[in-house]
Structure 1
Amino acid sequence: MEIVVIGGIAAGMSTAAKAARTNREANVTVIEKENYISFGACGLPYYLGGQFDDKSEMFARTPEQMEKSGINLMLEHEVTSIDFVTKTVTMTNLKTDNVVIKQYDRLMIATGAQPIVPPLNGIEAENVYTITKFENVDRLKKLISSVKDIVVIGGGFIGVEVADQLALQGKNVHLIEAGSTIMSGPFDPEFSQKLQGAIEEEGIQVHIEEMAQELILDDKGKVVSVKTDKGNYSADAVIVAIGFRPNTSFIRQDFLTLPNGAIVIDQYGRTSVPDVFAAGDCASVPHRLLGDSYIPLATTANKLGRIVGTNIAVDETDMQAYVGALGSSAIKAGAYEAASTGLTEKQAKAKGLNYKTTCIETNNHSNYYTTQEKIMIKLVYDAETFVLYGAQLFGKNETVLRATGLTTAIHAGLTTKELGFIDYAYAPPFASTWEAINVAANTAK
C-alpha cells in the first residue's frame, strides 16, 4: 500500500508515524515544503520572549529519526496539484525546480494554515512579522535588543501571548484589536475583560474597537508607526496576528469544505473524496457539541493525526472513530491564567440551546495556606437537565489545570448536580474541602 502524506508538521507526522507502526507492509511517504518536520509553532511566542533559547525544543522529531523508522521524506517539495481519479500527486522540487509525480493508494492532506495578512500599505516591510515560522521569529529575536516600540495587530491567542512576552522584556507594546474584546473566540465578554486587565497590569496598552489602516514607512522602507482609525502609534516592529486561513486554495474545489476553506472530515478523518483523509489546521474538527468546526489547535491536530494514521493503514472495518473535541484551550496573561472548554454562552445562544449560566469567584485552596487566590469560574448548562455544556476559568496559580476536570465532565455528559459532589482530592495547599469546581457546580440552579 502506498500511503502519501502532504505536510510534515503536527497532524502529518503523527499520521505518518502511526501509519508506519500500524501497517509494516505500507510504504509511507511524507511531502513537506520546508526543510524540517514536526515543528511546534506554539512555542514561538515563548522563544521570542526568551523563556528558552534552544530552537530544537520546538522540533518533536528530526528527519533522520523519521527516516530511520522507515518513513520516506521528500523535504523541500511543494505539491501543486492532485489528480484524484488517477491517484497522483504532482509536486515541484524547490531545490531543482524539477516536477515530480507520486502515485498513492491512500492520501492524507495536512497542509496546515497560513496567517491572514491584511492588505495594508507597508505590510511588506522587513520589520513586519507574523508568528508562524521559525525563521521569521528568529530574525526578530536577533534584533529584539534594538527594538523598543512594538505594535501587535490582533487580540487572539498569538497576539496576547506575544504582547505578554514582549512586555516582560520591558518593551512598549500597543495591542490593536478591531473587535469589542480580546480573546473573543474562546471566552465570553466578562472573561475577555479580565484578560485585558491582566495584560494591562503588565504595561500593555490595549486598543479595542480600533482598526489598523496604514503602516507608515520611512525613506528606507521600514515601518515607523501604525495608523489606525483612532490614533497613530510609533513602531520599531509590527506583529500581525489576526487569524489563520486553511492552506487549501489549490484543492478546495474538490472537497466539501467549511466557508473558510477547511476540508470537512468525518469522525474517521475521511474527506468527501474516496481514499483521501485530512487533519490539522487545513481541516475541520468533529466537535462533540457543535459538529464540524474549525479549531486550529495543536492538540486536535495531533490527536486526529494519530486517528488518521491508524485508519489510513487498515481496512474500513478496523477504523477507529475520533471521540470528538471540545475546543479546550488555555492562555497565560501576565500573572494570570485562563481556560475555556466546551460551549461559551455565546455559542450556546447561537445554537439555540435552552441554557443557564452561573459565574462565581471562589478560593483556590484553604485560607490558612499562604498562596490563596480567587478563581473565577463560569458554567454553561442545560436549563432543564443540568447537563454541563461549557466552562471558563480565570485566576492565578492552580486555575487552568482545573479545566481538565471540567472538560472530562462535559465529555462524559455529567450534570452540575453530579459535579457538585464529585470526590476531588483535598489538601490545604491545593484545594478546600469543597473543591472550587464543586462550589461552582452547586450554584447552578
Structure 2
Amino acid sequence: MKIIIIGAQAAGASAAAKAKRMNPEATIRIYEKSDIVSFGACGLPYFIGNHFTDANEMISRTPEQFQKDGIEIKTLHEVIAIDTNQKKLTVKDLNTGNCFDDSYDKLLLAVGASPIIPPFENSQLKNIFTLRNLHDGLAIKQTLSNSNIKNLIVIGAGYIGLEIAESLVALQKNVKLIQLDDRILIDAFDRQITELIEENIKQHCDLHLQERVLGFEGSHNVTHVITDKSQYPADVVIIATGVKPNNDIYKNLGIKTLANGAIITNSFGQTNMADIYAAGDCVALHHRVSHSMVYIPLATGANKLGKIVGENLGGGNCEYPGTIGTSALKVFDIEAGRTGLTESEAKKAGIPYKTVIVKDKNHSNYVAGQTSVTAKLIYHADTRVILGGQIAGGRGAALRINTLATAIWMNLKIDELAMMDFLYAPPFSRPWDILNIVGSIAK
C-alpha cells in the first residue's frame, strides 16, 4: 500500500501518523510545498505579541520525527499535476526546479487554505502583510522590532484580525481596525454579542465599521491606507480578510466542491474520485445541526477529520461525526464563544426557532474580579432542542460554551439546562449559573 499525502500541516500530519499506526507496512510519503511542517497558525498573534518568544513552540512535529516514525516527508516539494486515471503525480522540487513523477494507491489532499487578498491598489508595497504561516509571523515580528514603527492598520475584524489587534495594542502601537461590514465577527456571532465585543474594543483601539479599503500609498514602504471615507497614516498593514481553499491542484479534476472551492467528502473523508481523500482547510464539513456542508476552517476540524482519514487510509472504516463549529476568542477584556447555529444561520436554514438572551455575572459578588456575562441561545420552536449558543463576558465566559456544545451534540432541550448540576464555588460561578437561568426563562 502506497499512500501519498499532499500537505504536512494539521490534517496531513494527523492523517500520516494515524495511517502509519494502523498499517505499519504501508509506504507513506508526504509532499509539502513549504519548508515548515505540522505548524499551528493559531499561535501567531500571541507570538507577535510576545506571549512567547520561541517560534518552534508552534510546531508539533519536525521532519526528523516523521522520518523516525517511518513516514517519508519531502519539504519544498510541490505537486503540480494529478493524473487520476493513472494514479500518478507530477512533483516539482522547489530547491532544484526539477520535476519528477510519483504514483499512489491512495491519495490525501490536505493542501490547506490561503489568505484572501482583495484587489487593493498598490498592495505590492512593503510592510503590507498577511498572517497565515510562520514566515509571515517572523517577518511581522522583525518589522515591529523597529522602534519607528508606530501606526498599524489591521484590515478585517474576524478572529485573526481581532487577536492581532490586541497583540499590537499590547506592544503599545497605535492600532486602527477597519471592517467592511457593519459589525465584527459577522459570520460567527449574532449582533447582540458582537455589540458587546465592539464596545470593549473601542476602549483600546480605533474601530472603523462599514468602511471599505481601496488601496495604499507609498513609494517603497506603505505610508497610508486609502478608504472610501478617508486616508490614514500606516507604517504597517496586516490584511486579515479571511481565507480560501488552495484549490489550484484539484479544481480541474472533477472533484465536487462548494462554490468557494472547498472539497465535499463523505463521512469517511472520501471525495467523489476513487481512492482520493481530503481533509483540512481545503474541505467542507458536515454540520450536525443544519445537516448541510459548511466551510469552517478551524484547527479542531482539520485535526479530527485528518485522524479519521488517516485511519481509513490505513485500512479502517471510521466515520467523521460532523462539526458544530465550536470556537472562541479573547480580545482585550472580553472572552466570547459560540457553537451550533447562530440566529441568522437558523433563519437561512429554514428552521423554526426561538431565542433567549440573559445577562448575569460570572461569579459571586464578594469575590474580586466579578464581571458581566451575556448568553444567547437559539432553540427549535417546536421541539425545544438547542440549536446554537453564544456567550460573551469576562473571565470564565468562553469555557461555558463547551457545556452548550455538549448539549447540542447530545440533542438536549433547553429545558434540561434549568436543573443541570453545574459546579458552584464563589470564584467560579453563582448558585444558579447563567446557563441554568437561560433554561429557566426560555418560553
TM-score after normalising by structure 1: 0.97
Q: Which residue of 2 aligns with 1:429?
A: 427
SS of the aligned residue for 1:102 comes to strand
CA RMSD of aligned residues (A): 1.0
Q: Which amino acid aligns with 2:280?
A: G
Q: Which residue of 1 aligns with 2:103?
A: 103
Q: Which residue of 2 aligns with 1:240?
A: 239
1:245 to partner: Cα distance: 1.1
Q: Which residue of 1 aligns with 2:375?
A: 377
**Contact 2:79/2:249 (<8 A) preserved:** no
SS of the aligned residue for 2:244 comes to strand
Q: Which residue of 2 aligns with 1:158?
A: 160
- Distance in structure 1 (CA, Å) of the matches to 2:23 and 2:217: 56
Give the unaligned 5+ runs of structure 2.
none
**Which stretch shifts more, 158-167 or 141-150?**
141-150
SS of the aligned residue for 1:370 comes to coil
Q: Does 1:170 align with 2:172?
A: yes
Q: Which amino acid aligns with 1:160?
A: L
1:2 to partner: Cα distance: 0.3
**Contact 1:249/1:261 (<8 A) preserved:** no
Q: Which residue of 2 aligns with 1:267?
A: 267
- Distance in structure 1 (CA, Å) of the matches to 2:240 and 2:229: 20
Counterparts in 2 of 1:16-55, with a 5 A limit? 16-55=16-55
Q: Which residue of 2 aligns with 1:229?
A: 228
Aligned residues: 439
- Distance in structure 1 (CA, Å) of the matches to 2:395 and 2:258: 38
**Which stretch shifts more, 298-307 or 144-153?**
144-153
Q: Which residue of 2 aligns with 1:2?
A: 2
Q: Which amino acid aligns with 1:71?
A: I
SS of the aligned residue for 2:441 comes to coil
Deviations 1:388-423 (A, max 9, x none): 000000001011110111100001000011121111
**Which stretch shifts more, 192-201 or 151-160?**
192-201
Q: Which residue of 2 aligns with 1:414?
A: 412
1:143 to partner: Cα distance: 2.2
- Distance in structure 2 (CA, Å) of the matches to 1:250 and 1:370: 55
- Distance in structure 2 (CA, Å) of the matches to 1:172 and 1:188: 28
1:373 to partner: Cα distance: 1.8
- Distance in structure 1 (CA, Å) of the matches to 2:130 and 2:78: 21
**Which stretch shifts more, 286-295 or 405-414?**
286-295
- Distance in structure 1 (CA, Å) of the matches to 2:168 and 2:206: 12
1:136 to partner: Cα distance: 2.2
- Distance in structure 1 (CA, Å) of the matches to 2:48 and 2:202: 20
Q: Which residue of 2 aligns with 1:400?
A: 398
Q: Does 1:64 align with 2:64?
A: yes
SS of the aligned residue for 2:161 comes to helix
TM-score after normalising by structure 2: 0.97
1:189 to partner: Cα distance: 1.0
Q: Which amino acid aligns with 1:415?
A: K
**Which stretch shifts more, 419-428 or 342-351?**
419-428
Deviations 1:11-50 (A, max 9, x none): 0000000000011111111110111210111111111111
1:61 to partner: Cα distance: 0.5
1:131 to partner: Cα distance: 0.3
SS of the aligned residue for 1:302 comes to helix
- Distance in structure 1 (CA, Å) of the matches to 2:170 and 2:74: 40
SS of the aligned residue for 2:223 comes to strand
Counterparts in 2 of 1:283-298, with a 5 A limit? 283-290=283-290, 291-298=292-299
Q: Which residue of 2 aligns with 1:191?
A: 193
- Distance in structure 2 (CA, Å) of the matches to 1:88 and 1:195: 50
- Distance in structure 1 (CA, Å) of the matches to 2:371 and 2:120: 44
Percent sequence identity is 42
**Contact 1:198/1:335 (<8 A) preserved:** yes
SS of the aligned residue for 2:89 comes to strand
**Contact 2:90/2:99 (<8 A) preserved:** yes
Q: Which residue of 1 aligns with 2:363?
A: 365
Q: Which residue of 2 aligns with 1:334?
A: 332
**Contact 1:225/1:234 (<8 A) preserved:** yes
**Contact 1:281/1:296 (<8 A) preserved:** yes
**Contact 1:265/1:272 (<8 A) preserved:** yes
1:51 to partner: Cα distance: 0.9
Q: Does 1:91 align with 2:57?
A: no
Q: Does 1:308 align with 2:306?
A: no
- Distance in structure 2 (CA, Å) of the matches to 1:24 and 1:134: 31
Q: Which residue of 2 aligns with 1:134?
A: 134
SS of the aligned residue for 1:79 comes to strand
Give the unaligned 5+ runs of structure 1.
none
- Distance in structure 2 (CA, Å) of the matches to 1:411 and 1:198: 31
Q: Which amino acid aligns with 1:339?
A: G
| Residue number among 142, 147, 150 corresponding to 2:149 in the alignment | 147
